[in-house]
Amino acid sequence: MNFLPSFLVLVCGVLCCNGAFSGLNFKGVPASFFQGEGPFVDTFITIKNGSLKGKVGSTIGNYKMYSFLSIPYAKAPIGNLRFKAPEPFEDAWGNQTRDATALPPSCPQFSPAISASNEDCLFLNVYSTKDPAVDAPSDLPVMVFIHGGGFTGGESTYYSGAKLLVNGGVVVILHYRLGALGFLSTNDEVSPGNYGLKDMVQALRWVQENVASFGGNPKNVTVFGESAGGAASIFMLVSPLAKGLFNKVIAQSGSALSEWALDRKPFEASQHLADLVGCPNRTSTEIVTCLRTVPWETLVEVAKKKEDDAYAKLDLGLGFVTPTIEPKLPGAFITEDPLTLLNEGEIADVPVILGATLHEGSYVLGLLYRAYLGPDGRVNDTQWMRNDLIPSLLSVFGVSELSGAGAISETTALAYMPGSTRENFTEIMPNLVDMMGVFFMKASTLKTADILSRRLSSVYLYSVEEFSKNTMWVWLFRGEDSPPINPGITHADDLMYIFPMPVIPSPTDTAFSKIMSGMWSNFAFTGNPTPSPSEQYPTWPKYTVKDQQYMRLNITSRVDVSYHSSWTPRGFVAH
């Protein structure tokens, strides 16, 4: 079996294709569950385009929350606007009042959890604690959330301000184009790519122009996101297009330095997509001209079905779904490698929080188990893991034989698989969880923190270590045979502490939710997650390469040193 391409299809098909968040299957859960507590009554506000009718509900802490949904921030990216940078929505609706009480359709994607998609999807939702009808103008902090989903999945339905607004503020949740529609690139002026990222920039411009009407301060904007949204948040730091549009960043479980966050062969991917749908693929112009005529449903289906044949030809097997380095043209989002830009480019000196969950790798291991370890009888084959799996992972991250892959592979095996003759999956499982987490999330997070701490004034690093029986693992593998893996504190578990999720929280869940959402809110207000230290909010020191201090976030949060020590098997805590 040609393991490497198939493995890349598997891992990147979830982290970067189906998306880590689109893997959370909430189908059947009423959308209202995520949108605060009723009963709801109407409320009205006026922005530059006209009047909006929203609704008043409650936050989790029973404070009033004013919601305005499905507000257009860019023109519909259809027809000749497909594969182009977004154009601002400037139409007025005159004397009409626009209904802003229903959630918008998701952007096109392949996900069993998504039922209502439309290419006309560039909308955002605004949640505020300010009553637009009676409150005087205010300067509440603004938090703009970028959802995860590997740049090809996710939507706004799953998020609201119901937890984050207990201290007051404004939360904005945006949609952006996904997959081929959001990131197709011919690596030239015909289709330079990164449209999904440019959508985010346009949404931030909308915030600058309109958020004051909702009580928000356009000079106090925090961009935050999870997984692909975390990577996008770091991308915003290095893009000239986003300069001056935000004042703080929180990157949860994702970085622009993650190998899965960048497509390095975009033109090959565009050619392959064109071929799959029957379009000519010799020149950029004929590719894009033809693809603009293909129904979006077809593009989504083809992207899902291309499988090993398409992925095997591309770095990481991603293909027309992720950000890319653009040619040096006007309006480019980035024109150099994110690593170069972080090290040498012009970046905004804004406070940054970044980190990951303790057991990020359990989700990747679960996918590996379901697709290969179980069906191929590799569950207890540690020899195969040493000789095939680890070298394949190193190849993914650019470590070749010429650069010492053999020695690095052996060192990795010794660190995560001591005792090569052990043939017991249960025994080796914690090690594999840690190894997968390092490769796909933690190493890039730490590298980003190291670089930023040398260049920025305030960088805070964390590890989420609060275990809950309400783990998102249940929703990640919903409707399937759950792999026999202890998920620990897995990818996306942190989301339930800052957003409503379809779980019945334990008292400890509720207590930690107040702590984490409180720290995020503090950061939005002040740029410091613990401006007034207490037993619940111990002083969170800034991260530096010299001191290496980071916060271990749980019900009894504490400061520790040497983040990479949690990469080893001793960092795994069984529950």
Q: Which residues are catalytically annotated?
A: 227, 360
CA distance 229 to 22: 12
d(CA 35, CA 127): 10
Tokens standing for 507? 């008292």
Which neighbouring-strand residues pair with 53? 44, 99
Peptide bond into 39 cis (omega under 30): yes
User: What does the alpha-carbon distance between residue 352 and residue 412 come to, in Å, rounded to a whole number?
Assistant: 30
Is residue 104 within 8 Å of residue 40, measured between CB atoms?
Answer: no
Q: What are phi and psi for residue 300, nearest 5 degrees?
A: -65, -45
Tokens of 122: 């560039």
Phi-psi region of 114 (alpha: psi -120 to 50; beta: other; left: phi over 0): beta
Residue 380: both structure tokens together: 């207890």
In angstroms, the CA 488 to CA 471 distance is: 8
**Spatial distance between the Cα atoms of 222 and 207, rounded to a whole number of angstroms:** 11
CB 194 within 8 A of CB 288: no
Our separate counts of H helices and E strands in the chain read 17, 13
Residue in this structure with the two tokens 């009580």, named with its chain if needed: 215
